[in-house]
Amino acid sequence: MKEIIMNDGTAVSVDDEDFERFGHYRWTSLRRNGKSGYAHRSAKRVDGKRITEYLHRLIAGALPGQYVDHINGDIHNSTKTNLRIATSSQNLQNSIPRKGCVSSFKGVVWHAEGRKWQAQINVESKYKYLGLFESEVDAAKAYDAAAKIHFGEFARLNFAS
Distance CA 151, CA 121 (A): 10
Tally of domains in the chain: 2
**What domain range is 135 assigned to?**
96-154
- Residue 40 is given by DSSP the state E
pLDDT by residue (tens digit) across 95-108? Answer: 776 666 688 899 99
Domain shared by 12 and 81, yes or no = yes
Helical segments of 44-153, H only: 55-60, 88-93, 136-151
- Residue 9 Rama label (left phi>0; alpha psi -120 to 50; beta): left
Domain shared by 56 and 129, yes or no = no
pLDDT confidence of residue 100: 61
pTM score: 0.71
- Residue 128's CATH number: 3.30.730.10
Q: Identify the band that residue 161 occupies on the pLDDT scale cut at 50, 70 and 90.
A: low
- Residue 76 is given by DSSP the state T
- Average pLDDT over the chain, rounded to whole? 91
Residue 91 scores a pLDDT above 90: no
pLDDT by residue (tens digit) across 124-155? Answer: 889 899 999 999 999 999 999 999 999 999 99
